[in-house]
Chains A and B, each alone.
Chain A
Amino acid sequence: MANMISDETIDYVGILAKLDLSGEQKEQAKKDMGRMLDYIDKLNELDTEGVEPMSHVFPVSNVFREDVVTNGDDRANTIQNAPKEKDGMFMVPRTVE
C-alpha cells in the first residue's frame, strides 16, 4: 500500500469529521483509507494540465431570488424535531467554559 495513514492523520480526520473511533475501528479505517487513496492515485496517470476543474456540468449561472419576504413565523416546524428544546430554542451542551 503506497498510502500509509498514520494514527495522527486518522485522529485529525476524526476531529474534522466529528467521529470517534475505537482502537479496532481506527486500524480498519487506516487500512480502508490507505487503499482508497491508492486507488484514487490512479487519477495521476492522467495529464490534466490546463484542464479547468468542473464543479457544475452545465454552464448555468445567475439563479436568484428577489428580496421579498415570503416566509412567516415557522418556529413550530423549526423546533418540531429538536432532540432537546427550551423556550423555542435548541438546547445544546454549554458552548463556552
Chain B
Amino acid sequence: MAKEYETVIGLEVHVELATKTKIFCGCSTAFGGAPNTHTCPVCTGMPGSLPVLNKQVVEYAIAVGLATNCSITQYCKFDRKNYFYPDNPQNYQISQLYLPICRNGGVEIETEEGKKQVGIHEIHMEEDAGKLIHDEWEDCSLVDYNRSGVPLIEIVSEPDMRSAEEVIAYLEKLRLIIQYLGASDCKLQEGSMRADVNLSVREKGAKEFGTRTEMKNLNSFKAIARAIEGERTRQIELLEEGKPVIQETRRWDDSKEYSYAMRSKEDAQDYRYFPDPDLVPVQISDEWLAEIRERQPEFRTEKMKRYKEEYGIPEYDIEIITNSKHLADLFEATVAICRQPKKVSNWLMVETMRLLKERDMEPEDIRFSPENLAKLIALTDSRAINSTVAKEVFEVMFDKDMDPEAYVEEKGLKTVNDEGALRKTVEEIVAANPQSVEDYHNGKQKAIGFLVGQTMKAMQGKADPAAVNKLLKEMLEG
C-alpha cells in the first residue's frame, strides 16, 4: 500500500503598511513615481544618513497584533539583518529578530472540517527593499529605490496548516482583519501582501516534522495553491525515491508550475543579526496600548451580528458585504443617507457584483460614492426613472462615479409622467397592433406584455412599465 503523507505548512506573510511615508524617512510611499523620485539619503543608504522611526508603523503593527490575539512586546527593538543585494541599499535590512513587536497570537479559520486555529508565532516590523529591473539590452540590472524603506510587517505563522485550502482561508482572514484596520490594502497582485510558504511533508501520524523548504514569488491565491501542490508532490517523490529533502529557499515559477532552488555559493544565509545601534528601543506603555485598543474598529464578526440586528438583510448578503471592508463601508455610508438597507444591499449584491465580475475587479476597486448610490435609489423610489434605465445609469456610475441626477437630466432619461402623452402613445400602439389586441381578448394574457414592450420602445424606455401596464389593461378591458 502506498504511504499516506501529510503536508505541514507555515506562512511568512509580508504586508506593506498604508502609511503616507516610509518607515525611517519622510519619503512618500505612493506608487507609480518615476524611478528613484521617492528617495532620500536615508532610504538609499547614503553615508552619514540615519533612520528615525515612523510612529504610525508601530501603531499599525500593534493594531494588527491586537486583532490577531498576539501579546505585545512592550519593550521591543530593531535589529540589522546583514546580506548583500543591490535592492538593499545599506546591504542590511532593518528588521526585528530578538524582540519582535507581537508574539504568540492566532486566528480562527473556517475549513471544511469546521473551525480551526492557526497560530501566529510573531509579527515584526521591517523595511521593504527596492526594485530590480532587468535590462536585456545592456545585460544588466537597474535599481529603483522608490520602494526601499516602505514599511512592512511580517506575520510568521506556526506550522499549523495542512492544505492549500487552509492556507488560503488563513490569508483571507488576515487580509480582512488588516483591511478592516485600514493598515494595508493587502493586494497580492500589486505586492502589498506577499506570502512565503514553508512546506514539509511527513508520513501520516508521524510526530516529527519533515525537512522544510521555503517558496517565494507567490503573487496570487491560485499561484499559492499550485505551488503548494507542486512542492508537496516534489517532496513526496524525493522521499519515495529515498532521497533527502534539502532545507532551502526555492523560487516558484507559476508559468512552469515548478519551483527552483535559489542557491548560490555566495549566499551564506548567515544574517549576523544584531541590535541596530542607530535606533533606540520602543517602549509601549499600558496607556498607549489602551489607546490603540480603544481605536480598534468593529471587526467582521461584530459587524455581521450588528447588520443582522440593525438592518435585517439576508445572512447571505451580510456574508458577502462584510467580506470586504470597502463594501461594508460603502453599504453603511449609503444606508446612512437613504435609510433603505435592503435596496442598498440589492444594488451591491446584484448589479455591483455582476459588474465586478465582468470587469475582473475586486470590491476594493469600487469607485462610486455612497452619495451617488443613494441618489440613484431616490430616483427609482420616486419613479423618476424605471428599473431598466436605473441599471443603465448604474453601469455608467460604476465606471465613472458621476452624479446620477444630473446624468438623468442631461440625457433626458426621466420617465414621462404626463398622462396625456402616455395615453396618446398607448392608443397609437393599440391601434397599430390589432392582432395582439385580439389575442388578448381571446385569453392570451401574454399579449399584453408585447404591447407594453412596444409602448416602452415608442417612449424610448422613459415610461414607467407599471403605469403602461395599468393603462393598457384599462383600455383593453374598458
Binding site for B on A (CB under 8 A): 12, 15-16, 18, 55-56, 60-71, 73-75, 77-79, 86-96
Contact = CB atoms under 8 A, between A and B. Distances in A.
Given A78-B145, A89-B142, 12 more contacts: A16-B270, A61-B281, A63-B53, A65-B54, A68-B26, A69-B26, A70-B21, A71-B27, A74-B39, A75-B34, A86-B135, A94-B141
B84 interface: yes
B52 interface: yes
Nearest to A60: B280
A73 B35 CA distance: 10
B35 A18 contact: no
A67 B141 contact: no
B293 interface: no
A2 to B, nearest CB: 23
Interface string B133-158: 11100111111110000000000000
A75 to B, nearest CB: 5
Interface in B237-289: 265-266, 268, 270, 272, 275, 277, 279-283
A15 B142 contact: no
Nearest to A81: B46
A92 B138 CA distance: 10
Contacts of B40: 71, 74, 78
A90 B143 contact: yes
A66 B56 CA distance: 7
B281 to A, nearest CB: 5
A49 B386 CA distance: 82
Interface residues of B, number: 54
Contact of B280 (A18, A63, A73, A86): A63
Contacts of A65: 21, 25-26, 52-55
Interface string B74-91: 010100001011100000
Report which residue of A61, A65, A92 has the largest number of chain B beta carbons within 10 angstroms of its beta carbon. Answer: A65
A19 to B, nearest CB: 11
A69 B19 CA distance: 10
A16 B35 contact: no
Given A12-B268, A62-B280, A88-B34, A67 B139 contact: no
- For the residues of B in contact with A, the DSSP-based class is loop
B198 to A, nearest CB: 22
Given A56-B277, A74-B39, A96 B268 contact: no
Interface string B405-447: 0000000000000000000000000000000000000000000
B132 interface: yes
A34 B205 CA distance: 49
A62 B282 CA distance: 5
B21 A88 contact: no
Among B33, B265, B279, B281, max chain A CB count under 10 A is at B281
Contacts of A68: 20-21, 26
Contacts of A94: 134, 139-141
B37 A75 contact: yes
B143 A89 contact: yes
Nearest to A86: B142
Nearest to B58: A64
B28 interface: yes
Contacts of B139: 94
A36 B145 CA distance: 38
Nearest to A70: B26
B73 interface: no
B44 interface: yes
B36 interface: yes
B44 A78 contact: yes
A16 B53 CA distance: 28
Given A12-B268, A55-B275, A87 B39 contact: no
A89 B35 contact: yes
A26 to B, nearest CB: 17
A66 B138 CA distance: 41
A94 B35 CA distance: 18
The CB with the most chain B CB atoms within 10 A, among A77, A89, A91, is that of: A89
A63 B52 contact: yes
Contacts of B265: 15
Contacts of A77: 41
B282 A90 contact: no
Interface string B6-32: 000000000000011100011110000
Contacts of B135: 86, 91
Nearest to B51: A65
18 contacts: A15-B266, A61-B280, A61-B281, A62-B281, A65-B52, A65-B54, A66-B55, A66-B56, A67-B56, A68-B20, A71-B28, A75-B35, A75-B39, A86-B135, A86-B142, A88-B144, A90-B142, A91-B143
